[in-house]
Amino acid sequence: AAWEDARADEAFRAELDELGRTYAGRPTPLTRAERFAPDKRLYLKREDLLHTGAHKLNNALGQAVLARRLGKQRIVAETGAGQHGVATATVCARFGLECVVYMGAEDMRRQRPNVERMGLLGAEVRPVEFGTKTLKEATSEAIRDWITNVETTHYLIGSCVGPAPYPAIVRELQAVIGREARGQVLEAEGRLPEAVIACVGGGSNAIGMFAGFLDDAEVEIVGVEAAGAASLGTGRAGVLHGSRSSVLADADGQIADAHSISAGLDYPGVGPEHAFLRDSGRARYVGTTDEEALDAFRRLTRTEGIIPALEPSHALARVDELDAELVVVCLSGRGDKDLAEVLARRE
């Protein structure tokens, strides 16, 4: 109910628009990538240029303003790649809120720069030392904290997963990506793209991107998962973290381990709306291996002078095989956080 009230309130929307413009750096540009894909008219929606370096800030700002409306003084969040943790720590610093971020110990190892950034911003980063020590366990711990301290605490979830109304809140706050991209490609090309493509872990950058084009039947919608965490490609119906969606699970329904070189895609579930889009046929979902993502990462860096995060590199890896000529990719984040991981896997 609080979310419905907020989204109907013009003052709430005006504050978010103002923060987006003056603090986050919206609108983000649409950049033509001619050398990366010479046979296509490929555009990159540059969420990597948003303050904090990824799309995560769109959602964190909106939920922080919502938390203030609810009178909460403390924020808990989970993070995998660390980008949502950084975005959450950033908005907590901006609004003077206490911030606790749960992060798997394995992800803390992989994403050290973001751990340091969260600390600098005043957040307490709590390592999660059980299970695979990645995003699934971090999410479980954040939910435990939230339900224990619900009077004072807002759970600032980072993706379009979790119990209702979280998937809808996150989609709505990320839909600015697709709205902007739609207007920008029409302005640049005078027509809609034949395809839009985005990486999918929990799926928030993708659902935000897709939201701008779902009603345009002529636009193909493609989501790209990590091959080792392909909840939509190889998963089954199940419940994880409070929503029924497509999950990686064994024959007994126990959640299976996911794997990806990219900490942000290393999650055994996916937002329920993506499962619906797959089942309805409106979107299709494909997989990319670690090696293919690394290759696309290096290729974009060398051909365009843009260092992408490993997450959107999964989407970039599938661009060449699309039939479409005019394509928009959501470049959901920048690659600073991934340099150690990439250098460790030198060609």
Active site residues: 56, 78, 332
Q: How far apart are CA 176 and CA 44, in angstroms?
A: 15
CB 194 within 8 A of CB 219: yes
CB 16 within 8 A of CB 65: yes
Scanning the chain, the segments in alpha helix (DSSP H) are 2-8, 10-19, 56-69, 83-95, 105-110, 112-120, 135-148, 166-174, 176-189, 204-211, 231-234, 272-280, 290-304, 310-316, 339-344
What letter does residue 49 receive in the DSSP assignment? G
Q: How far apart are CA 297 and CA 13, in angstroms?
A: 36
Task: Return phi, psi of residue 103, to 5°.
Answer: -145, 135
Q: How far apart are CA 283 and CA 96, in angstroms?
A: 40
228: left (phi over 0), alpha (psi -120 to 50) or beta: alpha
Helix (H) or strand (E) holding 75: strand 74-79
Chain-centroid distance, C-alpha 115: 18
CB 254 within 8 A of CB 222: no
Hey, what are 152's tokens?
């004072």
What is the largest distance, in Å, between two alpha-carbon atoms of the chain?
Answer: 56
Hey, what are 124's tokens?
């307490």
- Closest to 338 measured CA to CA, from 301, 299, 309: 309
- Closest to 219 measured CA to CA, from 316, 315, 333, 323: 323
